[in-house]
Amino acid sequence: MGLLRVFLCTQINKKKEHTMKAQKQIISYRRRCNLIGQGTGLSHYILLTPSAETTAKDNTK
Amino acid sequence: MEQTPKQATASRFANTGQGPNFSVLEIGDPKRVAVVEADTAYWALVDRQELPQALGGAMVEDFLARAPEFAAEMDHLRAGLKLSAAYVNPTERCNLNCSYCYLPEEMRKNGIDMGEEKLMLALERLLQHFRKILPEGVKPQLIFHGSEPMVAREAVFAAIARFKDDFNFGIQTNATLLDDAAISFLREHHVGIGLSLDAPTAEVANSTRKNWQGNGYYDTVVAVIKKLVDYPALNVITTVTQANVHTLTEMVDFYHGLGVRVVMLNPVRCTRQGGMDLKPDNQVLAEAFFKALDRSFELFEQTGRKLVIANFANVLAGVIGPTGRRLMCDISPCGGGRCFFAVSADGEVVPCSEFIGMNEFSGGNIFRDDPADILASKPFQEVTNRKVEKIRPCAGCAIRHFCGAPCPAEIYKVSGDINAPSPYCSFFEEQVRHAFRIISQQREEAYLWDSWRTETEMSYCWK
């Protein structure tokens, strides 16, 4: 149930954000990397390295 | 009576006095134009009829209030990041002889191997340096790169097994030497795998990617992709040349049909004559590239399954959130020599793999020199001090921090001067315009990698 609620809330928030943007005559926003405070960012120049999230999903072992 | 001068107040208007410098960009969207403050990479998409509202009043004041924060963020991105990745070439040799390779032919044909013992030593020295500079718990990235790293399979796999807890590993390979045992090993060790394929048909793909006898490996590479398509850390690189530029839309269908999730459609680097000879025309490239992007969107709408074209996604991410980009080519200074560097098979360290074979850009040798001294070396400083502000016409370009005038190695080879614009300048311009059009259509989520939203947080939104 908990997971379902989180999913539904996320979808509702996304829809709200989408509707909010649609009504605007000016669209302007900015996002920030969550890791930037560590001074490293995501700093490779080819997309190779799996994140912890993607490796956790890998069930091929 | 003498009057006390009044403190200057922030102007309510852009482009005069103490107001911000807002550039107005035609983005090819019927409804909106972009307003950009280049130094802070701030942007707003404004209804054409509402443009006066953006050049004075609340939006200007809102920007001025947040400008120091945006500027600090850009400073950190451009000067504050630490080295967190190394590209290691365990061999100079390659079993293929692709027409556009950025490495010298003699090196690929008759070059040396690093050997297992020296590879272990190199990784140990790199690890010691990373441990000094990275926060606790942050794993550095170690990518085996080419020539063809699988030519040195035993040494590479021994290194992965030994350092599995110390690095996040990746390998960029032509896939021709990936047998089932190798695939199982790489999967078990969660190694990121990048494969190369250039076209949806053998005829076109094999025309540029072939062995020393002129034979292509299209069937082999496709068979490997099919075996790895369920692997979350797979991505495929397509190098875009005159030979395949007209196949990009079919390429998207082909990859999507196979179930591939991430591809890069990288314009060929002009670092060697072969690449220069195959460079596609910028306008032809832009049209083909945008059709391929449109097709990826259609397929996402039809199936709910995304094929991320990562080099474009990175430009889009760089616009939406400058620090949220993953690739460090489209910002200046680029990531070479500051976020990552490359170690060649003889231990020479250059800012990026693109510089391998250019001895004038070697900052030292991993077996002899301290990585900190290498990072501070003159050749590295030349690359890490390369900023768009020093380059004409980039210095006056409104999208200079969404493009970054890449790539210094390519530009050095083409112009003989590292501080020159890219041969792909007009393509990059169009790419940023396309990114703004997608934001205007509010379709950006369809083009970005899935974890992008959780990797970033909203830090500003015009209300």
A9/chain B closest Cα distance in angstroms: 15
Residue B205 has which token pair? Answer: 């793909």
Using CB atoms, pick whichever of B76, B326, B456 lies closest to residue A47: B326
Residue in chain B closest to A39 (alpha carbons) equals B81
Minimum Cα–Cα distance from A20: chain B residue: B463
pLDDT of residue A19: 45
Helices (H), B271-377: 273-278, 282-303, 310-320, 371-375
- Which is more confident, B227 or A38? B227
Q: What percent of chain A has pLDDT over 70?
A: 20
Which pLDDT value is given to residue B11?
57
> DSSP secondary structure string, A36-56?
GGGT--S-BSSS-PPPHHHHH
- Buried b / exposed e across B55-80, counting CB within 10 Å, b at 16+? bbeebbebbbeebeebeebbebbbee
pLDDT tier, A44 (very low <50, low <70, confident <90, very high otherwise): low
Q: Which residue of A has its CA nearest to B59?
A: A26
Give the single-character DSSP code of B78. Answer: I
Q: How many CB pairs under 8 A join A and B?
A: 183
Among B85, B171, B455, the residue with its CB nearest the CB of A34 is: B455
Amino acid occupying residue B281: D
Which amino acid would we find at residue B122?
A
> What is the C-alpha separation between B314 and B337, in angstroms, rounded?
20
Residue of B nearest to A55 (CA): B190
Question: B432 is written with which tokens?
Answer: 């940023």
Q: Strand pairing partners for B171?
A: B144, B193
- CB atoms A43 and B45 under 8 Å: no
Which amino acid, residue B159? Answer: A
Rounded CA gap, B246 and B218, in Å? 18
Q: Compare all CA atoms of chain B with the CA of A34 and give the residue at the minimum distance.
A: B456
Residue of B nearest to A25 (CA): B47
CB contact under 8 Å between A49 and B141, yes or no, is yes
Q: Contact at 8 Å (CB) between A46 and B90?
A: no
Please indicate whether, in this complex, the C-beta atoms of A26 and B335 are within 8 angstroms of each other. no
Would the CB atoms of B53 and A45 count as touching at under 8 Å? no
Residue A8 has pLDDT above 80, yes or no: no
Structure tokens at A57: 């999903």
DSSP helix/strand/coil, B3: coil
Q: What is the pLDDT of residue B337?
A: 96
Task: Compute the nearest-CA separation of A59 from chain B (Å).
Answer: 9
Total-model pTM: 0.90
Could you tell me if A39 lies within 8 Å of chain B, comparing CB atoms?
yes
Chain B residues near residue A30 by CB distance under 8 angstroms: 42, 70, 320-322, 458-461
Structure ipTM? 0.91
Confidence of residue A59 (pLDDT cuts 50, 70, 90): very low
Residue A37 banded pLDDT, cuts 50, 70, 90? low
Chain position carrying tokens 């969404």: B402
Q: Which residues contact B304 (CB under 8 A, 6 or more apart)?
A: none
CA B267 vs CA B130, B264, B428: distances in Å: 32, 9, 11
Residue that has been written with the tokens 């490796």 in this structure: A55
Instruction: Considering only the beta carbons, identify the residue of A28, A32, A38 that sits closest to B457.
Output: A32
Token representation of residue B409: 């190695």
Min Cα distance A14 → chain B (Å) is 11
- According to the model, what pLDDT value does residue B9 have? 54
Chain B environment of A29 (Cβ under 8 Å):
320, 458, 460-462
Q: Which residue of A has its CA nearest to B327?
A: A45
B214: left (phi over 0), alpha (psi -120 to 50) or beta: left
How far A6 CA sits from the closest chain B CA (Å)?
14
Cis peptide before B393 (omega within 30 of 0): yes
Strand partners, B381: none
Give the orientation angle of helix B248-258 with respect to helix B218-228, to 10 degrees.
Answer: 40
Alpha-carbon span B160 to B303, nearest angstrom: 37
Contact A48 B320 (CB under 8 A): no
Q: Decide if A44 and B455 are in contact by the 8 Å CB cutoff.
A: no
Band (A5; pLDDT cuts 50, 70, 90): low
pLDDT tier at A42 (50, 70, 90 boundaries)? Answer: low
Distance CA B225, CA B236 (A): 8
* CB of B109 closer than 8 Å to CB of B93: yes
Of B262, B320, B327, the CB nearest to A31: B320
- Residues of chain A found within 8 Å of residue B339, distances taken between Cβ atoms: 40-41, 43-44
DSSP code of residue B79: I
Q: Does the beta-carbon distance from B324 to A32 stay under 8 Å? A: yes
The list of chain B residues with pLDDT below 70 reads: 1-11
A49 chain-B contacts, CB cut-off 8 A: 85, 141, 143, 168-170, 192, 233
pLDDT of A16 > 80? The answer is no
3-state helix, strand, coil in chain B (%, to 5): 45, 15, 40
User: Does the pLDDT of residue A4 top 80, yes or no?
Assistant: no
Candidates B232, B285, B293; CA nearest to B443 is B293
Q: How far is A23 from chain B (nearest CA, A)?
A: 11
Task: Give the best residue of A10, A19, A40 to mutate against chain B (max B CB count within 10 A).
Answer: A40
Element (DSSP H or E) covering residue B380: helix B378-384
B41 in the Ramachandran plot: left (φ > 0), alpha (ψ -120 to 50) or beta?
left
By CB atoms closer than 10 A (0-12, 13-18, 19+), residue B411 is buried
Place of tokens 């550095």: B140
Please give the pLDDT value at position B105: 87
Query: What DSSP designation does B335 have?
Result: S
Does residue A50 belong to the interface with chain B, where contact is any CB pair within 8 Å? yes
**Cβ contacts (< 8 Å) between B323 and chain A: which residues?**
32-33, 36, 41
Distance CA B437, CA B385 (A): 32
Please give the pLDDT value at position A56.
35
Helix, strand, coil percentages, rounded to 5, for chain A: 50, 15, 40
- CA-to-CA distance for B12 and B51, rounded, in angstroms? 14
**Cα–Cα distance between B344 and B366 in angstroms, integer?**
9
Of B357, B347, B350, B278, whose CA–CA distance to B104 is shortest?
Answer: B357
Is the separation of the CB atoms in B404 and B11 below 8 Å?
no
| Cβ-Cβ contacts under 8 Å, B335 against chain A | 43-45
Do residue A47 and residue B352 have CB atoms under 8 angstroms apart? Answer: no
